[in-house]
Amino acid sequence: MAVVLFVSAVIALLARWILVTSLNRELEQRGVAIGQSIAERASGYILDKDRANLVSLAFDAAQLGERKVLVSYIFIQDNEGRVLANTFIRPFPGDLIKANSLPEGKEYSVRLVDFDDNQAIDIAVPIREGIYTLGAAHVGLSKNHIDSLVGTLRTTFLGFIAAVTVVMFLIVLRLSNAVARPLSKLTQAADAISRGSLDAPEAMLGLSDDAIRHCQAYANTDLPCWHFDQHRVEAEGAGLPMARTCRECRFYRKDGGGDEVAQLAESFSNMIWSIRLYRRRLRESEEKYRSLFDSNPDPVFVVDTADGCILDANSQAETVYGYARRELTGRFVGDLEPDAGSGGVAAYLNDREAPGRVLFPKLRHVRKDGSPLYVNLHACRIAYRGRDAVIISATDITELVEKDAQLIQASKMKTLGEMSAGIAHELNQPLNAIKMGSDYLHLLAESGQTPPPDALAAVTAQVSAQVDRAADIIGHLRDFGRKSEPMLENVDINTPIRGVFTIIGNELALQGIEVALHLADGLPPIQAHANRLEQVFFNLVVNARDAMSEEQCPKGMARPHRISIASRRVAAGVEISVADTGCGIADVSRHKIFEPFFTTKQAGRGMGLGLAITYGIVKDYGGNIEVESVPGQGSVFRLTFPAAALQAGQGA
Amino acid sequence: MRTILVIDDERPTLQMFELYLGAYGYRVLTAASGEEGLAVFDAANPPIVLTDIKMPGMDGLAVLKAIKERRPETEVVVITGHGDTELALAALGLRATDFIDKPIRREALEAALKRADARLDMAETTVGRYGDVAIGREGDVGVIHIRASLVGETEPYLTRAYRELDDASKVLFQFNPSASINGAGLDLLLSLVESSLAAGRPAALCGLSDNFGRVLDRLGVTAKAPRFVEKEQALAHLAGR
C-alpha cells in the first residue's frame, strides 16, 4: 500500500514538474513570439525613428486580447540601450535597461527580472533589418500571472492526482480483499498447521467435517486412499491391492474453476487433508506401537547405546523388576544384571561388532529388592529420538528355569531310583565286610578269646576302610541329589564321568558290560554343574547299557558288551564321546531321539525324558550333543562343551 | 571240621569270611570270582560252598549250576542282597540248599551253617534221604513229617504220604528245623496246600526256618497254610478251624 502511494506521489510530482515546465516554456514561447512580431514591425519604425508608432506598437501588442493580463510590460531599446518606447505608465524603471541585455547573435534571451517590487520574466528579442541589429524588443511576462497560472494548474493537478490516488486506493483495497485476504488466510492456516493444529485451518478455510465421517480411508488406516496413496501405487506397481478404493473422493477437490487464488486454496485444503490423513495414520501407528510397548507382557527397555542408561521402560518392566518408571529411566542397565559379566547387555552396547539383533538366553537379573530372576533377552539396535539405542525385551523365564530345575531334579531323583539297586549293592559290600569283621571280633569276645594281632589289625583296618568307602558313596549320592545352585561352577569334565561309575560301575560289571575310560588329563574346566553333568553321563551310560541288553537287541549276537568313554581337548573346549556296542539306532529314531517322550523302550520301561533332559542340560551349558549310529554296530554320543573362559552370550 | 569254599568278588568280604569262619573252626577256601571258585571246587571238592550271586563274569547262579552238575549233594548257600527274594527263588530253583542276606547277620550265617551241617550229617547217616517222609495223626489232623529236605525227588514219597492221609480232615506239614526246600520242592508244597484247601481241608506248616518261611510268604503259600514255629501252635490253630 505504502509503495502504491509513494509511486503515485512520485508520478504526480513528475507529472507536475513536466506540466509546469512545459507551461513555462509555452509562456516563454508566447513571449518570444510576441517579441518577434514586435521586433519585425518595429524595425521599420526604428529606422524611421517613429517613436509614436513604436509606442503604439508596444501598447497594441501589450493590450492585444488576453495578453494584457500576461504581458506586464513591453519596451524597445536601440543598440545603445536607450528605451525607444515602453508601455509603462509610470516612469520607466531603470533596473530593466541592463537587466536582460541580449548577447550578440542569439535569437532571444530569457531572464527573471525585478522591477518596482514586481517580478517579471523578461524576454529580449533582437530587432533586425537585414544583417544589422537595430535594437531589442523586451517583453515582460508578469511573474504573478504566471505564478497564478501555475498555481491554478497545480491545484487542479493535485486535485486530480488525489482523486486518482483515492480511486487507486479503492481499487487496491478491492484487490487486496480479493487476493490478499485469501492469501493471508492461507498463511494463517499454514502457520496453524505448523503449530500442529489441523482443526483451526479447516475452520479458517471453511472445510467441512463431512469427509471425516464419510472417508473410508480415514476411518480405516488399512484402506489405501486413492489420492494419498497414489504415489505408492506408482512406486510399488500393481503389487498393492487396490480392490477397495473410492471411485471419487468426497473430500479431495479439483474443480479447476475460480482464479489462481481459489485454486491455490483448493490445493491447500487438499494438502491439509493429506496431512490430516497422514497424521492420523502416523498417530494410529504410533499409538499402535506405543500400546504394543505398553501392553507387552514382557518388560521392554530402551537403552541409550552411548552411556547404557535406560531411556524408557514399559509398565511390565516396573512390575517385574519392582522399580518405578522414574527410577528406571536414567538407571544404568548393568544394575539389572550384576553378574552378567561380558555376556550381558552392557557389554553388548559397547560391542560395535555385535549383530543388530541378539538373543541372550537365561540371563540372571536382579529385582529392586535383590531377588533374582531369569530372563531371555532380545536386544535390537534402533534409533530412538535421534539417538542410537537398543531396545531390550526381557522374557521372564524364572518359572521356566525353576520348572527346568525341578524337572532335572525330578529326573535325578528318578535316576537315583534307577540306581537304587546299584547303590544297595555298592553299600552292601562295605557294610557286609564291616559286619563280618565286627561279628568276628564279637564272636571271639563272647568266647573270651583274644584275636590274634594280625587278625585284629586286618579287621580294624578293613572296618575303617570300608566305612570310608560307604561314606564316599553316600557323600557322592548326596552331591548328586543336591539341588544345583543357580551359579555355574568350573567343572573338570572327568569328575562326573568317574562319578557315574562309582555308583553303577560294579553293576555294569555284574551285567557283563566292560567299561573303557580314556580320559585325557589337564582338560580345561567348563562352566556347568557337576551333578547335572553326572546326570547326563548317567543317562547316556544307562541308555548304552540298555542298548546292549538282550531285549533291545533280540538277535543277541555274541559281541563284546563295551561302553567306551573318551574325553579330549578340542579347539573350542572339550569333547566327550560315549560309545557302545549295542544294536544302534535306526535312522528314523535318531532324528527324534532328543525329543521329549520319545522312547524305543517297552511301555513302562522309560518315559522318554532321559535324553531330552540330557539335551537340555548340555544346551544349558552352551554345549552340543550329537549322535552317530550304525544300526547293528553301536552308537556314539558326542558331546562338546566350551571351555570356561570362552563362555559368552550367543548371537541369535 | 568241614571245608567251606567262599566265592565273592569283594576281597575285603573274603578276608572277613576267612577270619570269621576260621573262628568257627571251618577250613576256609576263598575265591574272588566264579571261575576261580569253580577251579577251587574241582581241586578241593568242599562239601559246603558259600557264593555271592552278583559277581562280574561268571555269577553265583552259574557257579551254583556248575557245582550242582558236578556234585548235586554239595550244600550251596547263596548270598543275596538284602530282601532280594526273587534272586533267592531263582537260586532255589537251581537247587541251592539255602540262602542268606547280605549284609550277613551272624545269626543267619550261623543258622544256615548249622542247617547245612545238620543236612550233611543226616545225609551221611541216613539212606534214601529224599524219601524220608513220615506220616502221623493228631486227632483229625494228619501230620506229614518231612525229615530231610523238600526237593523234586521227594515228590513220589510226599504224594504217597498225602494220599495215605486222605481221611484226615486237616493237614499239617511238619519240617525239621534244618530242612531245605528247593524250587521244585516249593512248587510241590504249593500244589499240595492248594489241593488240600480245594478239598476243604485246612492246612498248616511248622518247624521251617525263617529263611524259607520268607520264601513261602513270597509265594503265597503261608497265606493258605499258616506257618508256625512249634508243632503245638500249629495244632492249636488247626483245632480252631
pLDDT digits (tens, 9 = 90+) for A237-270: 554 455 455 666 666 666 666 777 777 877 777 7
Residue whose C-alpha cell reads 563272647 in the numeric block: A446
* Residues of chain A contacting B12 with CB distance shorter than 8 Å: 429-430, 433, 462, 465-466
Q: At what angle do helices B155-164 and B183-198 cross, to 10 degrees?
A: 20
CB of B204 closer than 8 Å to CB of B237? yes
pLDDT in tens, A355-372: 888 888 788 888 888 888
Q: How far apart are CA A489 and CA A470, in angstroms?
A: 26
Ranges assigned E (strand) in chain B: 3-7, 27-31, 48-52, 75-81, 98-102, 133-138, 141-146, 170-175, 203-206, 227-228
Residue B111 has pLDDT above 80, yes or no: yes
DSSP code at position B218: H
Q: Nearest CA of chain A to the CA of B44: how many Å?
A: 25
What is the per-residue pLDDT for A576? 93
pLDDT tens column, A278-287 = 888 888 888 8
Q: Is the pLDDT of residue B31 over 80?
A: yes
B16/A437 touch (CB, cutoff 8 Å), yes or no: yes
Inform me whether the pLDDT recorded for A295 exceeds 90: no
In whole angstroms, give the CA distance from residue A140 to residue A93.
Answer: 12
Report which secondary-structure segment, H or E, holds A331: none
Report strand pairing: A573-580 vs A634-642.
Answer: antiparallel
pLDDT tens digits, one per residue of A541-567: 988 888 887 665 655 556 788 899 999
Neighbours of A108 (CB within 10 A): 21
B156 in reach of chain A (CB within 8 A): no
Q: Is the ipTM of this complex over 0.85?
A: no
CA nearest to B177, candidates B220, B130, B223, B211: B211
Instruction: Name the pLDDT band for A501 (thresholds 50, 70, 90).
Output: confident
Q: What are phi and psi of A259, to 5 degrees?
A: -80, -175
pLDDT number for residue A449 = 86
Q: How far is CA A280 from CA A233, A266, A286, in A?
A: 20, 21, 10
> Average pLDDT of chain B?
88
For residue A306, give the C-alpha cell.
Answer: 552411548
Question: Which tens digit of pLDDT belongs to each residue from A196-248?
Answer: 777 766 666 666 566 666 677 777 766 666 666 665 655 555 544 554 556 66
What does the pLDDT read at residue A646? 45
The single residue listed with the C-alpha cell 551349558 is A621
Q: Is the CB of residue B32 less than 8 Å away from at least one CB of chain A? A: no
Q: Among A170-184, B48-62, B65-79, name the one with the lowest average pLDDT.
A: A170-184
* Residue B241 pLDDT grade (very low, low, confident, very high; cuts 50, 70, 90): confident
How long is chain B? 241
Report whether pLDDT(A633) > 70: yes
Of residues A624 and A584, the one with the higher pLDDT is A624
Q: Is the pLDDT of residue A519 over 70?
A: yes
Q: What's the average model confidence in pLDDT over A481-506?
A: 85
- pLDDT value of position A249: 66
Q: Give the pLDDT band (50/70/90) at residue A650.
A: very low
In this prediction, residue A307 carries a pLDDT of 84
- Is A384 part of the contact surface with chain B (CB cutoff 8 Å)? no
> For residue B82, what is its C-alpha cell?
538284602
Q: Which candidate, B34, B237, B36, places its Cα nearest to that of B138?
A: B237
Per-residue cell: A356: 543388530
Least confidently predicted of A113-117, A300-304, A646-650: A646-650
C-alpha A594/C-alpha A432 separation (Å) is 41
Separation between Cα atoms, residue A36 and residue A30, nearest integer Å: 10
Determine whether the interchain pair B10/A433 forms a contact, defined as Cβ–Cβ distance below 8 Å.
yes
Averaged pLDDT, B93-121:
88
Q: What is the pLDDT of residues B175-215, one digit of tens each?
A: 988 888 888 888 899 999 999 989 888 999 998 888 888 88
Would the CB atoms of B17 and A431 count as touching at under 8 Å? Answer: no
CA distance A344 to A379: 10
What the block records as the C-alpha cell of A196 is 500442529
The dihedral through the CA atoms of A239, A240, A241, A246 has a sign that is negative
**Is A436 in Cβ contact with B13 (below 8 Å)?**
yes
What is the percentage of chain A residues whose pLDDT exceeds 90?
A: 8
Q: Which residue of B has its CA nearest to A465?
A: B12
User: SS3 of B82, please?
Assistant: coil
Handedness of CA A545, A550, A551, A553 (dihedral sign): positive
State how far residue B81 is from chain A, nearest Cα, in angstroms: 7
Count of CB atoms situated within 10 Å of the CB of A617: 22
Instruction: Pick B13's closest partner by Cβ from A421, A429, A439.
Output: A429
Query: How many residue pairs from chains A and B have C-beta atoms closer than 8 A?
Result: 74
SS3 of residue A581 by DSSP: coil
Residue A141's beta-bridge partner residues? A71, A121
Distance CA A87, CA B36 (A): 184
Determine the residue among A425, A439, A514, A545 to mutate to test chain B binding: the one whose Cβ has the most chain B Cβ atoms within 10 Å.
A439
Residue contact B10–A432, C-beta within 8 A: yes
User: What local confidence, expressed as pLDDT, does residue B32 receive?
Assistant: 92
What percent of chain B clears pLDDT 90, i.e. is strictly above it? 30
A424 touches chain B (CB under 8 A): yes
- Say how many residues make up chain A: 652
